[in-house]
Amino acid sequence: MNKPLLNCDIGESFGAWKMGRDEDVMPYIDCANIACGFHASDPVTMSRTVALALAHDVCVGAHPSYPDLVGFGRRSMACAPEEVVDMLLYQIGALDGICRAQGATVEYIKPHGALYNDMMGDPALLRAVFKAVASYRPGLRLMLMARRDDGPALALAAEYDVPLWFEAFTDRAYDHAGNLRSRREAGAVHSEVDRIVAQAMTLAREQGLATYDGGYLALRVDTLCVHGDNDGSIAAVERIRQALDEAFPS
């Protein structure tokens, strides 16, 4: 059992509109999932966020999405697999160009929002994501949702020679198969700091998690997703960081 990395969706401001407390959460995380312009962010925000990540020795990842700026990437879109490949390459390349100008590179990919959820239920879409990651650069890592059955993802990883990070969420409700409860439903997102920290440590130790539909779920976890949107989420991240460091000493 290895100490899981902490990752956070970040760099999601746009123009004069600010979202998230990036400066406050960055010191506590290992991986920054930086928005690439399709659901949030802009070139200036991307550049500033890359610089902030590098200043804190945080790994930079691309957080591509459907082209849904108005809906923050949370609406499914009828995109052909071939379109998804090109969308991802476009967004990864944009962030990677900014990274290279600062002496870094994009080290992994984590799809965002509806695309992230859709690909886990659509084999053709999941294959398109693997194809985009593999074709951009050999060895580029894909972060995707840990589920009860990781077989399909592992098979594609072997086929495309794409290394994986399996991710679990500290503040979301799960069903018995490992799917996230829809944000449209009550109880989908946990807000109590104690509950978020407790779920994080249960996942980190790969112990069974109670699901909202009365099941019991054990997940393989390489990384935990945290958030930095408000005082409560920042407090939770700080406590999770401390708990992980104590439970998994270097």
Pseudo-torsion of CA 201, 30, 221, 188, nearest 10°? 70
Q: Reduced to 3 states, what is the DSSP secondary structure of residue 152?
A: helix
How far apart, in whole angstroms, are the C-alpha atoms of residue 149 and residue 208?
A: 14
Q: Average the pLDDT over 92-111 and give the result.
A: 98
> Is residue 134 predicted with pLDDT exceeding 80?
yes
Q: Using CB atoms within 10 Å of the CB of residue 74, give its burial: 0 to 12 exposed, 13 to 18 middle, 19+ buried.
A: middle
For residue 56, what pLDDT is reported? 98
pLDDT exceeds 80 at position 1: no
Domains of the chain plus CATH, in order, are 5-247 (3.20.20.370)
Q: Return the pLDDT at 208.
A: 86
Structure tokens at 157: 């990883």
Antiparallel, parallel or unpaired: β 141-145 and 108-109: parallel
**Per-chain mean pLDDT for the chain:** 95
pLDDT single digits (tens) 198-208: 999 999 998 88
Instruction: Pick the closest to residue 104 from 58, 42, 63, 65 (CA basis).
Output: 58
Give burial (CB, 10 Å; 0-12/13-18/19+) of 182.
exposed
Residue 250: its pLDDT value, please?
79
The number of beta carbons lying within 10 Å of the beta carbon of residue 18 is 11
pLDDT of residue 187: 87
Do residues 66 and 37 make contact, with C-beta atoms less than 8 angstroms apart?
Answer: no
Q: What is the pLDDT of residues 144-191, one digit of tens each?
A: 999 999 999 999 999 999 999 999 999 999 999 899 998 888 889 998
Distance CA 157, CA 127 (A): 10
